[in-house]
Amino acid sequence: MPNSAGVDAHSLDQALTRLRLMYAKPEHPYYILAPDYRETSSGVASLHYLCHVLNLNGREAYICGGQVVNPDLKTPLLDPLTQKRHQAEGKVPIAVYPEVVVGNPLGCDVVARFLLNFEGFLTGQSMQAAGRDLLFYSGALIAARHGYPDGDLLCLPTIDVELFSAPAPGTLREGKYLYQNRHPLEQIDYSQLPDDIQLLSMANALTLPELAVLLRKGEVLYTHEWSMTCVIAVLCGCPVIFIPGHGIDEQFLEASFIGSQGFAMLDRPGAFERASAGLEGALQRYVERTAPFWQHLEVFIAKTQFAARREAAGNHSGMLAWLRQRYPLPQQLQLMQDRLVAPDAPSIAVLVRDHGDPGALARTLGSLDDLLYQRIQVCVLGAVEPRRPNVQWLPADARAPLAAINGLLESSPCDWCMLVDAGVEFTASGLLVAALDLAQAPVTFGAVFADEAVRGADDSVEARLRPDLNLDMLLAHPAALSRHWLYHMRTLVQQGGFDPAAGGGFELAYQLRLIVDHGLGVVGHISEPLLISSLPDLTVCDDERTVIQKHLLERGYPDAQVRSIEQGANCYQIDYGHSRPASVSVILYIEGDLSRLQRCLEQLLQNTAVVPHEVLLVEPGNDDPVLLQWLDMLSQVEPGRVQVLRFMPGQPREAMRNAAAQEAQGEFLLWLDATAMVSDGDWLPALLNHAQRPEVGAVGCMLASADGVIQQAGLVLGLGGSVGPAFAGHVLGDEGALSALVTERNGVAVGDRCLMVRRETFLQSGGFSVDPLLAPWAEADLCLRLQQAGYLNVWTPRARLLLEAAPAAAISAEQEDALYARWLPQLVSDPSYNANQSLLAGHSHARQDNGLCWRPLQGIAPTVLAFAADQQAAGQARVIQPLMAMRNAGLIDGSVTMGVLTLVDIQRYAPSSIVLQRPLADAGLQTLRRLRAFSQAFKVYELDGYIPELGFDAGLSADELLQRMSHGLMQADRVVVAAPALAELLQGQHDDVRLLESALPAAWGQLQGLRRMAQRPRLGWIGNKDAALLAEVVPAMAHEVDWIVLGDCPQALRPFVREHHPQVTGEMLGNSLAALNLDLALVPMAETLGSACSADLRVLQHAACAHPVICSRVAGFAGADTLPLSRVENQTADWLRVIRLHLDDRDASAALGDALQNAVRANWLLQGERLEAWRRAWLA
């Protein structure tokens, strides 16, 4: 019915659609992988038309792969500048692949697969689709055959119905045709066909107008195969008869998107008449069947854009990219899987609670399909059975699944089990890494937990990198720490399974039962993210609180209370309910400004009335008369509460503090900074709440500056190479990772600017160390000794003090060495800090770069940590490329960094060998010295040239540089040199000097330059400082040859150069050099000691491109002694003579180029024996 304005509802809908289209933003782009456009392929045309129609609908779509497009369509080709623009704008490209594409060649994070045919029908190969890939089908039959009868359709109409239409009734028809595309010509049985049949083969394809003319007049079309040409024929009024026995039958035709009318099978009676009778109404049927396409397109756009938006939000902080980098290389994967082929490799049951959301369940099961570890049994607990292969279903109420779970535990053959909710997405390699750890886990482990990520309501994904078992944090924030544990199945069954009485807290109840019965050592931690989960329900779980309350009762805290806190979702505060009052001795060491001390003492006395206490002022022998007078007065005014302990000047600070502890009368000691500002009367009870627990050693609190910036929230061992403040630089009000700034947690160490400890425990531990070399870390040393004695150290946010920032004390190398000598293993592995978190000073709890924390072959292959001097040619050839080649081949596990790391970072990486490229700076030499003293790793000094000529810019003379080199050599176990001249120079300076000549990356073995590509010979060189040796050669030959230069070229030679290409480095160099298409390459080099030691790669690089090479007759070219080179003296006449010899017999010259290339491919690539030689040189 028309509306009041005379516009019907359909027109209004169309107007609304066009209004939305008018203001639609392109959002995320589509990269459609398609061959060159050709109208003879409906599949190819479909991809190009999809690109066209997306652009017409306000989207941004591009064709990739092909170079030929239909000029009548809006199908732009993707170019590098557009890709860079998308990247700069934060766009997430959506790859669209037809079913013939295997894997994800474009490397996009969002993939849509457009199945134009049955998977594998044309190629015989699987698409290797990932579980998260979006699937769209060009027909319902293809969807059903793929196992998804309700799958999303995208029935794209690609037939021009104006061109392909039936002629006027009564038009004379003549001509019988056999359509042939993929059916082999030699298998055609012409005895089944009319004598006057004509072959219509795609090998000699007609244009679309020609095909239209033929089919509009054709009498009948025979075929063995289904094609869009068959539909075109029916639209043109030409019946189609299928020859049976080749995949097409009545059932297939009935299920085709246009139905069976107009078609018939040859073996059916009256086939021609039957097909002819169905031609009536073909156009109407086609329009009806393709009309839903526009709705299909809306669904396609909505789903792909949603996935892209989700990807963009999830990767806002780089977390998704970080997770996806943790995917093993092919050879690494093979080695990892080889470790797990044994029959006793751990099997894992994944129990999925289905809450009735099909999309959530599909995401979880899809991610499980993509796992790299296969010994997984998946069981869905829910009301509806999922239609998935290899998935077990157990009818259960997802809200109360315990009866079903405990029943399953009894019958499951798996070694371990874990429980997840539908919607979690497993990382591809997480359970593979977990399985490797579980295979080596102690038999005493009853449970293991790993790391994870969490997706917020805005789809952002953040890390949940957990510490090792942290009892206080587990109780304070079970939602972050108690989910997704792996339980040892036999232990779980022996414990009677999960307790139904625990209700929704059944997992936490079992975890705490394990800890109480078997100790903290019963639970392991795998520092690998297993999955991405959604945020937990924000509703307070009363069952969880009840479980915690019961646990505290069992531990001897009958009066404990568990309260929810406002800041921090699902977080709890525990009051342990100590009944006995405690006394405290507050000890202040006097230093700094008197006014700050007075303020501190005044606030302290005002805000600690609820706790019996005394204040001890440690006076270290000051000579300030004003201070001394004030202390005298104070002793008289507050004789019962304040006591001044006076010491002679010059005594160690820690000795005075230990003496103060001896004098203290309180049961607990509180070391407090004299600049502290106390404004909260509950701060001291908050500290005592934990200090009075018999299992606790030291207690620390939140320390911040007056402007609300956190100075310290506990200490992190290893941070900054020694010990550093946790969360420094955050602001008050931040929750921190895992809500660590608003909940209690255990830490190895807390700072001494506010540190509480039981006096008896302090004295028994020996107090603060009086070793002056350990003075900067006196509190950490104390806390470590308390931990070794079996105590838990606790940090609490409930006590908060404001402090003025203390100036950073100068720490000597000797002091750091003393710390390493005593505590290096503990600094390397702080159990309260995740192995995937950075130890860079000032960056506590930040994610570590995967190059230093993703260790897929740890314990499987030797580990090499290499320090390259730079990323230029020498760093690439001598360190980066060999390490990457060995890693890719699975010969080693390893990583390379620029410059050196701290000793703690190095030991944390736990390398078998350490390779340092010519360390000359103070930091590098100190690292070598410390490695010699503290590390068992094998130390390799890599020397790639003559040190005084390598451009080390530090204002040092040649003798000073050589002396530094000698100091470094003394600390190394082996010296690896790049050239024979270097080996000779180092004779007598080291017992183990090995010559290892440089080689090229294996990819150089695929290069092939072309010859004779111009009228005149193309001669050239790679830009180098010695090109001046050709100063007379180039002008002399300029009228006979074309000079080609890649890189720097002397100004005087540029007028004679035909082509001057800019310098390229790294992976681009090989292709750029081959593309020069040189007929002859020149490699000049001056005769110097620096040249002899340089191990120059230019000869090998030209040889890899099959360039014949003329080079200087000097030492220093890598491989020169074994290659068929033309070598000349550095004299113009000799250069010209040999060049003319090559030009006079270009066939012989080309043969030399081929021989050079063969030699390089056989012996001078980083593969095979050459790569094994690098491995032997770098390992002990």
DSSP assignment string, 577-610: ---S---EEEEEE--S-HHHHHHHHHHHHHS-TT
Identify the bridge partners of residue 418 per DSSP, sorted by sequence position: 350, 486
Instruction: Please give the CATH number for the structural domain made up of 20-153.
Output: 3.40.50
Query: b/e per residue, 1037-1047, with b = 16+ CB within 10 A?
Result: beeebbbbbbb
Q: SS in 3 state form for 299-324?
A: HHHHHHHHHHHHHHHHCCCCHHHHHH
Which of 1006, 943, 1002, 973 has its CA nearest to residue 1171? 1002
Taking residue 297's Cβ as centre, other Cβ atoms within 10 Å add up to 19
Q: Are 1042 and 1017 in contact (CB under 8 A)?
A: yes
51 compared with 1, residue with greater pLDDT: 51
Amino acid at 1010: L
Is residue 121 over pLDDT 90? Answer: no
- pLDDT range class, residue 1024, cuts 50, 70, 90: confident
Is residue 562 over pLDDT 90? Answer: yes
Mean pLDDT value across residues 415-425: 97
Percent of the chain with pLDDT over 70: 98
Residue 2: the pLDDT is 45
Question: In the CATH scheme, what is the homologous superfamily, with its name and number, of domain 1004-1164?
Answer: Glycogen Phosphorylase B; (3.40.50.2000)
Report the distance separating Cα 1073 and Cα 1105, nearest Å: 7
When mean pLDDT is compared across 2-6, 631-635, 950-954, the lowest value belongs to 2-6
Task: Pick 319-573's CATH classification: 3.90.550.10, 2.102.10.10, 3.30.750.24, 3.30.1370.100.
Answer: 3.90.550.10
Instruction: Convert the pLDDT of each residue in 80-108 to its tens digit.
Output: 999 999 999 999 999 999 999 999 999 99
* CATH class, 861-995 region: alpha beta
Mean pLDDT of the chain: 92
Amino acid at 931: L
Mean pLDDT value across residues 410-417: 94
Instruction: Convert the pLDDT of each residue in 232-252 to its tens digit.
Output: 999 999 999 999 988 899 888
Instruction: Convert the pLDDT of each residue in 796-815 to its tens digit.
Output: 999 999 998 877 788 999 99
Dihedral of CA 457/459/462/467: which sign? positive
Residue 6: the pLDDT is 56
Residue 4: the pLDDT is 46
Amino acid at 685: P
H helices, E strands: number in the chain: 41, 45
Mean pLDDT value across residues 1149-1178: 96
Is residue 123 over pLDDT 80? Answer: yes
Mean pLDDT value across residues 351-370: 94
Identify the bridge partners of residue 715 per DSSP, sorted by sequence position: 725, 749
Q: Are 258 and 289 in contact (CB under 8 A)?
A: yes
- pLDDT range class, residue 528, cuts 50, 70, 90: very high
Instruction: Please give the CATH number for the structural domain made up of 584-828.
Output: 3.90.550.10
Mean pLDDT value across residues 324-342: 94
Residue 159: the pLDDT is 87
Residue 782: the pLDDT is 98
Do 861-995 and 1004-1164 fold alike per CATH?
yes
Q: What is the pTM of this model?
A: 0.85
Q: Are 544 and 527 in contact (CB under 8 A)?
A: no
Which of 1164, 1138, 1134 has its CA nearest to residue 1149? 1138
Which of 1050, 1057, 1055 has its CA nearest to residue 1020? 1057
- pLDDT range class, residue 1097, cuts 50, 70, 90: very high
- pLDDT range class, residue 555, cuts 50, 70, 90: very high
Report the distance separating Cα 578 and Cα 560, nearest Å: 8
Residue 25: the pLDDT is 72
- pLDDT range class, residue 833, cuts 50, 70, 90: very high
Q: Are 506 and 498 in contact (CB under 8 A)?
A: yes
List Cα–Cα distances, 441 to 287, 339, 346, 522, in angstroms.
Answer: 64, 14, 10, 11
Instruction: Convert the pLDDT of each residue in 504-516 to its tens digit.
Output: 999 999 999 999 9
Is residue 22 over pLDDT 80? Answer: no
Report the distance separating Cα 974 and Cα 1179, nearest Å: 9
Report the distance separating Cα 844 and Cα 866, nearest Å: 24
When mean pLDDT is compared across 100-109, 153-162, 322-331, 836-845, the lowest value belongs to 153-162
Domain boundaries, given as residue ranges, for the chain = 20-153, 176-276, 319-573, 584-828, 861-995, 1004-1164
Mean pLDDT value across residues 979-988: 94
- pLDDT range class, residue 991, cuts 50, 70, 90: very high
Is residue 913 over pLDDT 90? Answer: yes
